[in-house]
Each structure stands twice: as structure tokens, then as C-alpha cells.
Structure 1
């Protein structure tokens, strides 16, 4: 027995291009006797709740959401959660209850996003039902993307229109560290497969910044609004979002200025080190490099990428010689062919993307420039944590 009156509450999706509400997600609530609203989420994660009661509750909530969608602007979409476990119970060719509900309420399926939750269910049956949703005109989203490795298979099988980043993973990634790299890689994968990204659980300005950095088309979270019974006006968040977006752009511009200043400093460093390298002078004759505290190491390669000299590394204020990489070939690294393509003839300084060094576990950038008539390459690794 489920106590309380089931109803749908709506949490908006903010379009990052306009700041306007583009749609809403229907979230299930129960109205208790004291008029308090509580989430139905715990019921769906409680194994003792009968499956038949959960299916009935889910359809009641969806029915309420569809009935009230006519009160929302016509250009909004509605996101409805669909459990793969229940889809697996449908017989082949059986009319789909969700599509029947759309017809009953005269809802254009093109306004609907069916959000596939969880990792269970029969994959083949799920793909068949998803195709029927898509043929009707609805779009498909995968919820909690990144929460489990098997979702990669699901993306390939279902070819969704939208990926919603797993909230816990997203919030951890916004704080930095390895999960940040993972989420950015997931976002890049989504872009390559033609998916839009939704960042849910955006509760702080830092999380919004990270969502924008990942290329999120929509954002959703308490920074803007919790789920509520009624609908906001479409332009409710336009002004506050514009202010947040402008601050984000200013911060990115400042980041770009820091990178430009770093390039200028790297050019100065190259001018100091190249004469020393050409002279094949000993370490004791290194120029003074205290002005470059982010310098980790430097070394030389030939134009084919083979390391010719030991690494010179700064540790605890002193220079150390590491010969273990002499003879290694680095031509497979992305920055090297960028150097060949852009820097060999013009001797331009090329800067790599940020990466995590496998040996030191530090975030690094590598700068490279040809010298000695293009026969040698000076490579400089710098600490990118501050960037």
C-alpha cells in the first residue's frame, strides 16, 4: 500500500544558449495528509515495494504530468522517466502504454523525451521499444550516463538524442581531479555521436562553469530551481543566467590571458636554454631559471622524435640528470606531429593540451620548439596545476 496522493512536479531545463526554459522533467511526488510533498524515489529503490504497485504509481504520475503539460508553453519538451525493467515485461507488438497516454491527452510525441533510467532490462527488447518511441517522433535520453561502464554499450545500441550526466560523477568532476577528465571525455564522446548533453544536479556556480566547459546544451538543478507543481515563465532565468554566463566568459578570457602570458614566458625560457643546448654546456653552466617556478624538466629530441639527451629535472631546488629516457621515441604523442606540421619550418613554439603525467601523476603541459636549423627539438614540461 502506497500512502499519499501521487502527482508530478516539474524541474526546468535551462537552455545554455538563451537562458530560457526549454523543457521540464516530470518528477514523482506524494502529497501526504499534512499537505507535505515527498519524493517517490525511495519507494522505487525499496525492494519490498510490489512491482505492480510501482508500475501503477509510475503511470499515475505520468498521467498527471501529461494532463498538465497543456498549461506549459507549446515549445517546451517534457522528459518522462522510463524503467527498462518494465519495458522488458511488454509482449512483442503490444501497444506501448506511454504512447497510448500521449494519444489520450493529444500530446505531440515530438514534445516528449523518454529518459531511460537504470541499467537493467532486456537490451534487445529495450532497443525495439526505443525504436518505436523514435518512430512516433519522441526523443530518447539516457539518464545517469557515466554511472556504469555498460552504459557505453547502451549508447551504441540505442543511439540516444540526449545524454544526462550522472549527477554524482558530474558534481565530483566539477571539483577537479581525475573524474573531471573522465566527464570531459564522456562529453566529447557525446558530441562525436551527435548527442546533446544535459548536466543535472547543478547546484553551485562552479558546477555551472564545469557544465558549460563540457558543452552542456541544457542544465538542471537547484542553482536555478527545485521541482515544483506549477510552471515557471519561460524567461524566468534569462537575466540571472546571463550574469552567470558573462562571469564564466570573463573567467575563461582571464584563463586565456594567463595562457598567453605563459607563452611569452616560455619564449623567453627557450631563448635562454637554446644557446646553452647548442653549446652542449654542462649542467653547472645552466642559465639562472628561478623566474620560471613551473618548470619541471627539459630535454632534446631529433626531428624524428628520438630523445637525444637526458631529462634535466628540478627537484627540491636542484637539477637532477635522468638518463632513463634517452633513446625513447616520442613521435606518437599528439604534440609531436603538431610540431612537425606547424613548427618545423617556421620554428614556432607549440604548446600541448593539458595531460596527466603517468610517472609523476602531475598535470602537465609540454612546450616544444625546433632549433639548430631544424635538426633538434627542445621540449619543456611544465606544471599545469596552477592553470
Structure 2
């Protein structure tokens, strides 16, 4: 059940989900006209930006939420922000960030596009069972369906000894209706075994591959074959890191289902004073 505490009622357009307030009773949620909903926790000021994902026809079909953190007014990389959370706080901090993204999306974005949320790898191994249950209560409180949420997992950060545990976590998420995306595929090596094990609904091809393909004829020839293989695994293919018009065309020619990158749309705040939609 949702609650909206009395001291927030005049500042927030949506209720703060109860599980989040239980984890962070001293967190301060505010509304910034330019940056949307923000939250102060662990001495950090946290905000959300969103980068559009386009289909082959150029329509925005999803947005990826990204964390923007500051400490004493200075920008802090997301991984450093997570490092501010003690090990016993990490799961709750990850959930706080995803809740912040969801609040901004539910408040300022219209339509039925999907929301991509990154999941910290430690969440998959620290939580023993019932993955997605707590966040599901948060979604319920905002009348959101898990089918509109895609959880991004960086498989390269998962040690071999934890693969079975992560597979069980993914199966739990999938059973609750969440989409599962493998992020940064091919950033170091293309681990096809992991794809067969995790059975993602989406694979995001790393920016390094498309950047190298722009200047390498062999890679340009190989890219369509990679996309075809991923399609045979019944995964939707998103090529990320599109920085030039040439890279965009290469991704489309290779048969990618969707594309993402600064050339197409930069990450933006969804504040009340921000104009939404594709650039």
C-alpha cells in the first residue's frame, strides 16, 4: 500500500512507496523543476536521467534510466555512489535508485514505453530468494506492471562460481513478468555460454563493437552474423553506443531491433520544465 507522508505532500506529485521509506526513513525526497524528483541519502544528492532507445523506424520504444549523483555539489560517478553504501546497505541502495528512476518515469513520462533499469551485480548474489518481490510491491504501489520494466544485468561482472545463483535470480524475475537484458555484450569477450544459461529477452551489444565495426571491414561483415545468432536465441538485439550516423546505419543494416546512443538522443532529466520525447 502506498503512503505519502504529510511533510512531503506539498512537494511530491506521487506517493513514496512504503518499502522504500522502511529502508530509508531519513531519505529526503524533493522535486526540482529542472531535474524532476531527487532524493538525499548517505550524504549524496541523487537524480535520474533517461536515454531514449529507438526502434528501426526511429520511434522511441523505451528509456534507460541512469543515475546522477553529487556530493557537496560535485558530480560523483555512479560506481562511487554505490561504493558509499556499506555492504549491508547495497541491496537497499540499489532498490532506492531504481525506485527514484521509477518515480520520475511514472510522474513525467507519458505513454506505455518500457523502462530499462540497471541492477547492481551484488543484488543478484546477496539476495537469496524471491528476487523482484520487494520491487514488485513498489511497482504495485504506483499501479505499474513488471512487464513494462526491463532489468539490465552485466554478465561480465558475474564470477563463474555465481552463475547458477544468478540464473535462479533471473528465473525469479522472469516469472514475475520482468524483461531481462544482458548489458555490454561483447565488451571484453562474447560469452555465448552465459546467454544460453541466462536466456535473456534482450541483448545489448556493447558500444565497442559498433565503434570498431565503423573502421573494420571484417567486423562489419561479422556484425549481421552476430545479430542473426542472437535472434536465433530468441533475443531482441539493441546496439548501444551509437555515436555517428555511420554507426547507426551499420546497426540497422545488421538487423538490430533497436539502437541507443548520444548520436540519437542524450540522457536527459525528466523535470516538469523539460520537454519530453525524441530529439
**Would you call these one fold, judging by a TM-score over 0.5?**
yes
How far did 1:53 drift?
Answer: 5.0
Give the Cα separation in 1 of the matches to 2:240 and 2:200: 17
**Of 82, 96, 111, the match for 1:60:** 96
Say if 2:179 is the partner of 1:139: yes
Q: Which of 1 and 2 has greater Rg?
A: 1
Deviates more, 1:179-188 or 1:198-207: 179-188
Superposed, which structure 2 residues align to 1:265-284 within 5 Å? none
Per the alignment, residue 169 of structure 1 pairs with 209
How far did 1:200 drift?
Answer: 0.9
Per the alignment, residue 72 of structure 1 pairs with 109
User: For 1:65-112, what per-residue CA distance to the aligned partner results, in whole angstroms no more than 9, with x for missing partners?
Assistant: 111222312311000111333211112346643333322332111100
Q: Secondary structure at the match of 2:126?
A: coil
Say if 2:237 is the partner of 1:200: no
How far did 1:199 drift?
Answer: 1.2
After superposition, the Cα gap between the structure-2 partners of 1:49 and 1:141, relative to the gap in structure 1 and judged at 3 Å, is same
Give the Cα separation in 2 of the matches to 1:51 and 1:192: 39
Give the Cα separation in 1 of the matches to 2:53 and 2:198: 23
Is the Cα contact below 8 Å between 1:171 and 1:207 reproduced in 2? yes
How far did 1:42 drift?
Answer: 4.8
Say if 2:157 is the partner of 1:157: no
Give the Cα separation in 2 of the matches to 1:42 and 1:189: 36
Give the Cα separation in 2 of the matches to 1:87 and 1:144: 17
How far did 1:26 drift?
Answer: 0.7
How far did 1:148 drift?
Answer: 4.2
How far did 1:149 drift?
Answer: 4.1
Per the alignment, residue 179 of structure 1 pairs with 219
User: For 1:216-235, what per-residue CA distance to the aligned partner results, in whole angstroms no more than 9, with x for missing partners?
Assistant: 2211111122211117544x
Give the Cα separation in 2 of the matches to 1:113 and 1:190: 18
Say if 2:269 is the partner of 1:229: yes
Q: Secondary structure at the match of 2:63?
A: strand
Say if 2:59 is the partner of 1:40: no
Q: Which structure exhibits the higher relative contact order, with contacts defined as CA atoms closer than 8 Å and separated by 6 or more residues?
A: 2
Give the Cα separation in 2 of the matches to 1:104 and 1:151: 38
How far did 1:114 drift?
Answer: 0.9
Per the alignment, residue 60 of structure 2 pairs with 21
Unaligned 5+ residue runs, structure 2?
Answer: 1-40
Per the alignment, residue 334 of structure 1 pairs with none
Q: TM-score, normalised by structure 1?
A: 0.54
Q: TM-score, normalised by structure 2?
A: 0.73
How far did 1:151 drift?
Answer: 2.8
Superposed, which structure 2 residues align to 1:310-321 within 5 Å? none
Paired residues in the alignment total 232
How far did 1:153 drift?
Answer: 1.4
Give the Cα separation in 2 of the matches to 1:57 and 1:6: 11
**Of 95, 102, 108, the match for 2:139:** 102
Is the Cα contact below 8 Å between 2:181 and 2:203 reproduced in 1? yes
User: For 1:264-311, what per-residue CA distance to the aligned partner results, in whole angstroms no more than 9, with x for missing partners?
Assistant: xxxxxxxxxxxxxxxxxxxxxxxxxxxxxxxxxxxxxxxxxxxxxxxx
Is the Cα contact below 8 Å between 2:85 and 2:93 reproduced in 1? no
After superposition, the Cα gap between the structure-2 partners of 1:182 and 1:128, relative to the gap in structure 1 and judged at 3 Å, is same
Is the Cα contact below 8 Å between 1:115 and 1:143 reproduced in 2? yes
Give the Cα separation in 1 of the matches to 2:131 and 2:112: 30
Is the Cα contact below 8 Å between 2:69 and 2:81 reproduced in 1? no
